[in-house]
Each structure stands twice: as structure tokens, then as C-alpha cells.
């Protein structure tokens, strides 16, 4: 599992306060490496009781490090996170996009600033609790899916470069989630039964609309059918995403309504009736901000598989054209609710090739 890591290496473990990073630290310590825990603070905000929302995770991470008898440090990247990730989210929402802040956080913060900080503290490598794997081959370091298909997180880390892959370790990527929890329990780690965190970290348990309205003023507009008939009023186009069903406020007989498109210039939400309405499907994507884990395809068209959202099954596709920072992809079968601002990530079997941010759908 750690064959490519030289004996005596010092490894910083990105401690999130969850069970996955806890077991990562445990496995590395058990394997005989010099290990220390590093907690990253990205957001400073208090809950209704005045308690810092990140403090519980920080306390849990510190407790695990104490149990494992390894040093524990905290770094603060709240300013950098706000500038590089949160502002990008707000900018995208204003344009009618649905950005993925987790992917940008991994690119700009976790595997950039956080990695550099770990190395500056004397670490030779950084380990995280992501459910993915890396493999050293003749072509360099390959990014692979995690063994647990229900937890695979390669979709979120596709922007990793060769340099980053050479310095980052995923100790639980070869395990299933129940195995991770059992290891944590056997090791006496307090996080063994802690629930997984879900959603965007800085929003927490609050309603997305309620949170975002503090930063972007809502502008009401019309919800219209694909034929232009006005059905209802929306509370702000930025609160809706393609494929959305709930929260439209459209009653009546017949099939449910779904968001098929957004017209930001005219402040319209366009809806289609029925979950299989043709307007909800697209066969072609143009994406930008391309990132390859190894190298881009040597010849086109290039056949592979892709996901346009997390947890989606791999879909057969062809990369038709790559020019500067734009990539054109066509799917074998039309895909439902392809969403600009989200990422399209490419695969060949278990190997993650890279990805790009969806710009347009056709």
C-alpha cells in the first residue's frame, strides 16, 4: 500500500475531524512513518450559540492525534479561501452558473497552499482521507478511483497535477467505508461513529437560499414554460439549478415540473413538464479550464467515459476537439440536466484522466 514511500518519511495528515482522515493517520503511524496532524481552517463564522462552526471538527482532530500520540497543528487559510473559492462561487452564481466549491478548494487550497504548508513544516508527503488512489507507473503518477464505488471521490480531485500526485497519499482509498469505521473502532479513535459531513462546508446546516442572500441580493422574476408561458414567480434565478424539481411552487395536474434552463439576461427560469422532457437532455458539451492528470489525448476523436456530476455512472463519450482552453465532448447517449459551472470528469476504467468546467450544453 505504501511501497513507493521511502522508509523514514515524514507525512503530514490533513485532519478534518472525520473518520477517514483519522484512519489515514492511524494506518501511516502503524506502518512506521513519522506522522503529524494538520488541521486546516477555511471559514470563520459562529453558530447561533456563538460557537465557531469549525471548532468541533478541530477538537475531534486534536483528540485523535492525542490518541495516536502524534503532533497536531492548525493552519488558517480563511482569507485565501474567501478570495480564491468563495468569491468564485458568488461570481459564478451571478452569471447563472452552478459552481462546485469543493473542486476549487481542492485545487487552490488543499493541494496547493495546504500541501506547500505541510512541506514547509518538514513533511515529505501530505496524506488525506479522500476515497481515491494513486499509482506510480511508467507514465508517471495515475489517479485512480477509490475501491468503494459508493464513496469514490476522484471526481473532486481531477485537477491534481503530476507534482501534486507525487506528493499526496490516499491511505483509505483501497478500503470500503465499513472497513474504515471498523479500523477506527479497533484503534479506539473517537471519530469511529461520527457522521460524514455533507454539503458545502461554509453553509453547514443552513438553507442555501438563506445563506447566499446575505451576499447576493435576490431579484424576483418569472418561471416560464419552454413555450414562454408564465407559470409562477421565482425568488431569484441564482437559487435554482438545472434538473431541480423542489421549490418551484408550481402545482396543477399532470407530471411534475423541472428546471430545464436559466435565462439570466432576462431573469427567467425555464421549466419543462415531466422528468424525461427532451429539453432536459443534451448530447454535447463545451467545457473550459481543462486539467489532465497525466497528459491530454494524443489523437482525436478520443473515446472514453465521463461524469457530469458526482455519483453518476460513467457515460461513454468522445472528445472531439481541443483548442487552447476549450474542449468539445459528445455523449453516446443524451445526458440529463448537464449544468454549466459543474465539472465534466473523464475516465478510462478506474483511471481518472482529468476534467474541465462545463461552459455550454447542446
Residue 35 CA: distances (Å) to CA of 3, 12, 73, 121, 189: 17, 6, 12, 12, 16
| 3-state secondary structure at position 140 | strand
Q: What is the model's pLDDT at position 176?
A: 98
Of 10, 52, 65, 201, which residue is the catalytic one?
201
The span from the CA of 361 to the CA of 330, in Å, is 10
Q: What is the model's pLDDT at position 203?
A: 66
Q: What is the mean pLDDT of residues 111-126?
A: 98
Q: What is the model's pLDDT at position 281?
A: 98
In this structure, are residues 190 and 67 in contact, taking their beta carbons and an 8 Å threshold?
A: yes
pLDDT category at 9 given cuts 50, 70, 90 is very high
Taken in order of first residue, the domains within the chain and their CATH numbers are 10-186 (3.40.50.620), 218-275 (2.30.30.280), 281-361 (2.40.30.10)
Provide CB contacts within 8 A for 97, sequence distance 6+: 340, 341
pLDDT category at 198 given cuts 50, 70, 90 is low
pLDDT at 95 over 80: yes
Q: Give yes or no: 105 in active site.
A: yes
Is it true that the peptide bond before 301 is cis, omega within 30 degrees of 0? yes
Burial grade of 282 (CB within 10 A; 0-12, 13-18, 19 or more): buried
Q: What is the model's pLDDT at position 138?
A: 86
Residue 316 CA: distances (Å) to CA of 185, 323, 349: 40, 21, 11
54-79 tens-digit pLDDT:
788 999 999 999 999 999 999 999 99
Locate the DSSP E strands across 63-219. Answer: 72-76, 125-127, 132-137, 140-145, 168-169
Q: What is the model's pLDDT at position 202?
A: 67
Of 105, 132, 304, 352, which residue is the catalytic one?
105
| Dihedral sign computed on CA atoms, order 30, 35, 36, 40 | negative
Q: What is the model's pLDDT at position 205?
A: 62
pLDDT at 50 over 50: no
pLDDT at 8 over 60: yes
140-197 tens-digit pLDDT:
999 999 999 999 999 999 999 999 999 999 999 999 999 999 999 999 999 999 998 7
pLDDT at 47 over 60: no
Q: By C-alpha distance, which of 300, 295, 298 is closest to 351?
A: 295
DSSP letter assigned to residue 160: -
278-336 tens-digit pLDDT:
999 999 999 999 999 999 999 999 999 999 999 999 999 999 999 989 999 999 999 99
The span from the CA of 307 to the CA of 155, in Å, is 8
Q: What is the model's pLDDT at position 63?
A: 97
The span from the CA of 153 to the CA of 172, in Å, is 11
Q: What is the mean pLDDT of residues 124-135?
A: 97
Q: What is the mean pLDDT of residues 242-268?
A: 93
pLDDT at 211 over 90: no
| 3-state secondary structure at position 56 | helix
Q: Give yes or no: 201 in active site.
A: yes
pLDDT category at 201 given cuts 50, 70, 90 is low
Instruction: Tell me the three cell numbers of residue 112.
Output: 496547493
Mean pLDDT rounded to a whole number for the chain: 94
Amino acid at each position: 500500500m505504501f511501497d513507493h514511500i521511502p522508509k523514514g518519511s515524514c507525512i503530514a495528515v490533513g485532519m478534518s475531524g472525520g473518520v477517514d482522515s483519522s484512519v489515514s493517520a492511524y494506518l501511516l503511524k502503524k506502518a512506521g512513518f513519522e506522522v503529524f496532524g494538520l488541521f486546516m481552517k477555511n471559514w470563520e463564522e459562529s453558530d447561533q450559540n456563538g460557537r465557531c462552526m469549525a471548532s468541533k471538527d478541530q477538537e475531534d482532530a486534536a483528540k485523535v492525534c492525542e490518541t495516536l500520540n502524534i503532533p497536531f497543528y492548525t493552519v488558517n487559510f480563511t482569507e485565501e479561501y474567501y478570495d480564491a473559492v468563495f468569491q468564485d462561487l458568488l461570481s459564478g452564481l451571478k452569471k447563472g452558473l452552478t459552481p462546485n466549491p469543493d473542486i476549487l478548494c481542492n485545487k487552490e487550497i488543499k493541494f496547493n497552499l495546504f500541501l506547500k504548508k505541510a512541506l514547509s513544516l518538514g513533511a515529505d508527503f501530505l496524506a488525506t482521507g479522500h476515497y481515491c488512489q494513486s499509482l506510480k507507473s511508467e507514465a508517471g503518477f495515475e489517479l485512480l478511483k477509490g475501491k468503494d464505488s459508493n464513496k469514490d471521490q476522484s471526481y473532486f480531485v481531477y485537477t491534481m497535477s503530476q507534482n501534486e500526485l507525487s506528493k499526496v497519499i490516499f491511505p483509505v482509498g483501497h478500503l470500503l467505508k465499513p472497513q474504515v469505521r471498523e479500523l477506527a473502532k479497533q484503534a479506539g479513535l473517537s471519530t469511529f461513529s461520527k457522521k460524514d459531513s455533507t454539503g458545502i462546508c461554509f453553509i453547514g446546516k443552513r438553507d442555501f437560499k438563506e445563506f447566499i442572500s446575505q451576499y447576493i441580493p435576490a431579484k424576483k422574476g418569472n418561471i416560464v414554460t419552454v413555450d414562454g408561458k408564465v407559470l409562477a414567480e421565482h425568488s431569484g434565478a441564482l437559487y435554482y439549478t438545472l434538473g431541480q424539481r423542489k421549490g418551484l411552487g408550481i402545482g396543477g395536474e399532470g407530471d411534475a415540473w423541472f428546471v430545464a434552463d436559466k435565462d439570466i439576461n432576462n431573469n427567467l427560469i425555464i421549466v419543462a413538464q415531466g422528468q424525461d422532457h427532451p429539453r432536459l437532455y443534451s448530447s454535447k458539451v463545451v467545457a473550459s479550464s481543462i486539467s489532465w492528470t497525466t497528459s491530454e489525448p494524443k489523437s482525436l476523436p478520443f473515446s472514453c467515459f465521463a461524469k457530469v456530476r458526482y455519483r453518476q455512472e460513467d457515460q461513454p463519450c468522445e472528445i472531439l476537439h481541443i483548442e487552447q482552453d476549450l474542449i468539445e465532448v459528445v455523449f453516446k447517449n443524451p445526458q440529463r440536466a448537464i449544468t454549466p459551472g459543474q465539472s465534466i470528469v473523464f475516465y478510462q476504467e478506474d483511471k481518472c484522466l482529468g476534467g474541465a468546467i462545463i461552459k455550454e450544453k447542446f
